[in-house]
Structure formats: structure tokens, C-alpha cells
A and B are shown apart, each in its own frame.
Chain A
Amino acid sequence: MHKLLSLKGVKKSFPTKGKTVDVLGGLTFDVNEQDFVSIIGPSGCGKTTIFNIIAGLLDPDTGEISYRGQQVTGLRGKVGYMMQRDLLFPWRTVLENVMLAPELKRMPAAEARDNALEYLNTFGLGGFENNYPKTLSGGMRQRVALIRTLISDPDVLLLDEPFSALDYQTRLYLEGVLLEAVDTFKKTVILVTHDIDEAVALSKRVVVLAGKPSHVKQVYDIDIGEKSPIGARSHPHFSGYFHQLCAELDIQTRQH
């Protein structure tokens, strides 16, 4: 497996009210081609900050980021960033929302439209293309957001707790949708989540962050080959990984 993305000693601090808060204290980890990496850790450990740095929205104080072996200052335009809020533009229809990225790349309208409609159909949203987001349920909206993210064919997907605002059943459903899409389109994923279940069920590797400022405490390889998130939860190794990770985080919370 080739290394797609590599972070070395990435540090970041923010000035707040006079003093400086060190958020990232030298992060080092790799992401391989077609990897599925979950990042878990206590609240406030800078997970969103890492994403912003990878996406090129923030500059790190020190440290390097390498992409396919070359040093870069962030992967602007190469990442698909999905946040907890679906961020669908309320003034655009579902179709128009999905066509945002192709529009920005000045793709010919007819081609973009056909492509977008195909995606919508694949994800079970055919017939909703002319609806405004306000008429869709939370799960449907995140599905549209996922399509919007995938349609620009990014190399890396950065998912920042994309399902945590949804009810549990919708969440399970969307985890399945995500895995299928990742498999079909051969994407590399970095997922931030507070849901340890989700991390174990979906990932190939789990990065555990700890400390203030954060550093990589441990990286777990998850050896569950299941393609379905519900199936993964009944795999014999699932429980073991789950408890190991819970223990990792427990130790940290007790020391706070």
C-alpha cells in the first residue's frame, strides 16, 4: 500500500485572550492509499484543526505535510470535506447543490447535470433533484452532502463527525452508504468521530489522540474485513477492539 498522505510533527497553537493555546503538539501519522482512518480522542484535542490544516485552510506552525511523497501546504481542491452540518445551500435545489463543485471547475452544464443526476439516482435520491433542502430529512440531506463531496472526485475524504447529528438508525444506514461509496469509488477516508462503535466498524486503522497539546498516542490496526457496518459489529474481533479503545480514552479522562 502506498502512502498517500503523511503528517510529521505538525504543531498548531491559537492565541486566545492574551495567552496562546497549544492545540496540536507535534502530530505524526500516515494515511495509505484507499485507507480508512478514524481519528478519536477527547473533545478539544484539535481534530477539526487537523482537518483544516490538511485541507489547506490553516497553516501549521511547524511540521510537514507530504502528499504522494511531495511536501505540500495543504490539499486545497483535492479534499472532500464533509462536516457535521450538511451545509446545503438553502437557496439551491438538491441538483444545484450537488453541481457546486462542477460549476466551480467550469464543467459544461449538460455534462455536469447528467453526471449529477446519475449520482442522485445511485444514492436513492432520484426524483428529489428539484426539491429544496428544507423539504428533505436529515439523513437525506447528509446523503446529498456526501454526493456533493464525492462528485468532485477528491483524493481524500475528510469527514468531521458527519453523522453525529442524526438518529441512530439513520446513522447506521448512512455508514453503510458511505462504505459502499468508498468501496465503489476507491476513496481514501479520514473520519473524525466520537462514536467508538463507528470507528471500529468502518475503519482499517484508528488513530488515538491524547494529551494537551495533542499527540498521537497509539495507532490501531483493525482487522475486520466486513463490508457492512452492522455485520462488522457482530464480528468476533469487534468487542475486543471496542474495549481496547474505550480503555484508551478512559485512561485519558481519568487523568484530566
Chain B
Amino acid sequence: MSHAISGAPPVAPARARRKKKTHVLDNGWGRSAIQVAALVLFLWVWQLGADIGWVSSFMVGSPAEIYKALARGMASGDLLRDSGYTLMESILGFVIGTLVGSVLGLALWYSPFIARLTEPFIIAVNSIPKIAFGPIVILWFGTGLVSKVALAVSLTAIVALIAAYQAAKDADVDFQTLLVTLGAEKHDVFFKVIVPSSLPAMISTFRINIGFGLVGAVVGEFISSEHGLGHMIFTASGLYDLNTVWAGLFTLMVIGFGLYFVIDYIERKLLPWKDDVHHASLNV
């Protein structure tokens, strides 16, 4: 048996292994159950409050009445029609704005001179809350579909342009150098390196932009419109019909959800090579 060397550093005592604390309910079913229960509880308390007069159902509305408003809207077809208008305006605005903005942003890479020239103007325009353009857009483009699309475009285009240009500027220089050594011209570098490497950053701004598309459409409808969910909400609030307002908001939420799912799908299709790293499974 070896004798211990005097003056040897003490060894740290072994720590009792702590088992990683995973909440028993932290899984798909458990979480859904809690979420649904919380939602139901919230609606129930709201309804109760409205029934017993604890909250003014006039000022706040009640779940039952909201449901009735939705049912009425569906039955008459008005809800679907208005949703259709808003959806179309948002999607058109998003697509046109993102396309135009992205193409311009990427094209700025081609000429750093033009990019530097236009930079202060882009920053200036970006600083204006695009919503403020609302009244002037209605004036120019009328009260129909075009003005709402134009407003949505004004919001999405600038965001897309800045995102695309930034992504192009950040493209890995070594990739570009490599392609040049293989015999590439500038347009080869643009299409084979700049565009594909900018795509992830551009697509992640799609989520913001689809939201802006909706904002542009709805606010345009607030200002002046005959159709759409924004119009429905605006009119109803003027009549103090809060239940219809909530019905409209709820429908907008559903549409928003749907659009996010579509963006997710598009991202997975366009970027099959992208890492899907979610959570590290280390014992922290």
C-alpha cells in the first residue's frame, strides 16, 4: 500500500450526482393539457364575470357573445369574405414587397458605390413609421385593394431590402475567393455564393414581414375601406359592438397563425440543408 505524499493537494469530494430535473408534465401531452386548461379557466372566469356583472360586458364583451358573433359571421358568409380580402391584401403586399425589396437589396451588392450613395436615403425612409403613409396612400390609390397592398408593400419592402443587402454584405469572403480561383466571374459569384448564402437571413425576416403585411392591410382598412377584417373591427368598435371586435381579432389571430405555419413550411422547403438545432441535451 502506497503512503500518501505529504503536502499533496486535497482531492475534491465527489458530488452526489444530481438527476436532471425534468418536470413530469414537460412533454407534448402534459403541456397541451395545462395550456388548454388555462385557456378554459380564463374563458370561464371571463364569462362568469360578465354574467354576474363583475365586469361590464358592454365594455369588454363576453365569450358567449363573441362565439355568437363568429357564428353569425360564418353563417352569413361575411366573415369568410372579409377574411379573404384581408388575407389577399396581406399576401399580395408581402409577396410584392419582399420580392422587390430583396432583389434591390441583393443588387446593391453588385455596386458598393451605389449602395453607399443610397444608404442615407434608405435609412431616412426607414426611420419614418410607414403607417404614417396610410392617409397619403389612400389618397393616391383609392379605397380599394390597391391602396392596402401599397401600404403593406411600403412596410415590407424596406425591411426586405435592408435584410437582403446586409446578408449579401455578410457573405463569407472565403467562399467568394474560392469560386474566383475556380474561374468564376462576378455574376457567377453573385448567383452561386451571394444569393444562396443570403437566403437564410432573408427567409428569417419573412416572419416579421408577413406580420407587416397584415398590419399594412388592416391599418389601411381602418383608414378607409368597405371590406376586410380591419374594416369590420373598425366599424364594430364605432358601434360599441365589442363582441364583433373580438371576433375580428380572433380571426386575425387564426390567419396570423396560419401564415406563420406557411412560412415555416417554405423555410423547410427552401433550406433543406439548414441545421435544425434546438436544445442541447447536456446535463447543465
Cβ-defined partner of A87 (8 Å) among B178, B192, B199, B275: B178
Residue A152 at the chain B interface, CB threshold 8 Å: yes
Q: B174, B181, B272 — which one has the most chain A CB atoms within 10 A of its CB?
A: B181
Contact with A along B48-63 (1 / 0, CB 8 A): 0000000000000000
Judge whether B175 and A89 touch: CB under 8 Å. yes
**Which A residues are in CB contact (< 8 Å) with B177?**
57
| Cα of A101 to Cα of B196 in the assembled complex, Å | 17
Residue A69 at the chain B interface, CB threshold 8 Å: no
Residue A124 at the chain B interface, CB threshold 8 Å: no
Cβ-defined partner of B178 (8 Å) among A76, A81, A105, A132: A81
Cβ-defined partner of A152 (8 Å) among B183, B192, B273: B183
| Cα of A79 to Cα of B174 in the assembled complex, Å | 16
Residue A181 at the chain B interface, CB threshold 8 Å: no
Judge whether A57 and B178 touch: CB under 8 Å. no
- Secondary structure at chain B's binding surface: helix, strand, loop or mixed? helix
**Which B residues are in CB contact (< 8 Å) with A105?**
183
**Which B residues are in CB contact (< 8 Å) with A87?**
174-175, 178
Residue B179 at the chain A interface, CB threshold 8 Å: yes
Residue B182 at the chain A interface, CB threshold 8 Å: yes
Judge whether B273 and A76 touch: CB under 8 Å. no
Contact with A along B157-201 (1 / 0, CB 8 A): 000000000000000001101111111100010001100110100
Judge whether A101 and B174 touch: CB under 8 Å. no
| Cα of A103 to Cα of B182 in the assembled complex, Å | 10
Cβ-defined partner of B181 (8 Å) among A79, A90, A92: A79
Q: B179, B182, B197 — which one has the most chain A CB atoms within 10 A of its CB?
A: B182
Chain A 69-120 residues near chain B, CB threshold 8 A: 76-77, 79-81, 83, 85, 87, 89-92, 100-101, 103-105
Known: A90-B273, A91-B273, A134-B273. A100 touches B193 (CB 8 A): no
Residue A55 at the chain B interface, CB threshold 8 Å: yes
Q: A76, A79, A89 — which one has the most chain B CB atoms within 10 A of its CB?
A: A89
